[in-house]
Amino acid sequence: MKTSEPTSPRFYGRRKGRPLRRGMQALLSEMLPALRFDATRPLATQFGKASGRQADLALEIGFGGGEHLAGLAEANPAVNFIGAEPFVNGVASLLRHIQTGAVSNIRIWDDDVRLVLPALPDAGLSQVFIMFPDPWPKKRHAARRILQPEMMDILAQLIRPGGQLVLASDDPTAKGWLLQTAMSHRQFYWTARRPADWRQRPPHLPATRYMTKAEQASRQPSWFIFERRG
């Protein structure tokens, strides 16, 4: 007999890379339990000191090595951040950044972001970042790309009016896909006014590992900032 249990979305990326050195394993076992985002607990109880007031909440989807997320969190101590990343080596790398930067405003969802989105409050996010997502450039893999029309519907529900969806990529297919998918959603508009707005990294955004790799290989990254309509 068929059951009506909901099925988890299939994750096509890597969950593990090279074996972790002992120091990184220690970070996972010692730091992660306290910093793991708990989808069953009220949001306000999860962020230490900022929990008493209405701090902005931002989400980074696929933070990779975590340098962008840690940099943002350090520069914006009054904002709470959730980072989603199923790749354990990336999670360990973020923990190292958190430790060295003494950052306290990040909670980690070490799994597929699509599993945590239902736990987030409507209009509760001030910013969502999807930086250099896996491009899945082949047409037959288009359904694997993280930004889909259904994801845009969910983000429209979660990002508050005036909040931002920040996208970046260096891959030509992915750039076109990200732009087209976000521009097709009537609740968002692209804020760019001139080419420099997408060709140059906005000064308030830290570098990411994939951005640096792209620049070293002379591939031109683009940054697309969308705003949620009121």
The catalytically annotated residue of 122, 134, 171, 197 is 134
Contacting range for ligand SAM; rule: CB under 6 A; set: 86-94, 95-103, 118-126, 178-186: 86-94
Contacting range for ligand SAM; rule: CB under 6 A; set: 25-33, 56-64, 120-128, 147-155: 56-64
226 makes contact with ligand SAM (CB under 6 A): no
112 makes contact with ligand SAM (CB under 6 A): yes
Phi-psi region of 64 (alpha: psi -120 to 50; beta: other; left: phi over 0): left
221 makes contact with ligand SAM (CB under 6 A): no
Question: By C-alpha distance, which of 84, 181, 165 is closest to 126?
Answer: 165
- Report the alpha-carbon distance of residue 11 to residue 198 in Å, rounded: 29
Choice between 16 and 49, CB closer to ligand SAM? 16
- Residue in the block written with tokens 């005036």: 162
Residue 36, beta-bridge partner list: 108
- For the question of residue 171 being annotated catalytic, the response is no
214 makes contact with ligand SAM (CB under 6 A): no
Phi-psi region of 178 (alpha: psi -120 to 50; beta: other; left: phi over 0): alpha
Size of the site for ligand SAM (CB under 6 A): 24
Between vectors from CA 89 to CA 81 and to CA 207, what angle results, nearest 5°?
55
146 makes contact with ligand SAM (CB under 6 A): yes
110 makes contact with ligand SAM (CB under 6 A): no
- Report the alpha-carbon distance of residue 168 to residue 195 in Å, rounded: 14
Beta strands in 1-121 (DSSP E): 56-61, 79-84, 106-109
224 makes contact with ligand SAM (CB under 6 A): no
Chain positions 2 to 21 lying near ligand SAM, rule: CB under 6 A, are 11, 13
Catalytic site residues? 134
Contacting residues toward ligand SAM, per CB under 6 A: 11, 13, 61-65, 84-87, 90, 112-114, 131-134, 146, 208-211
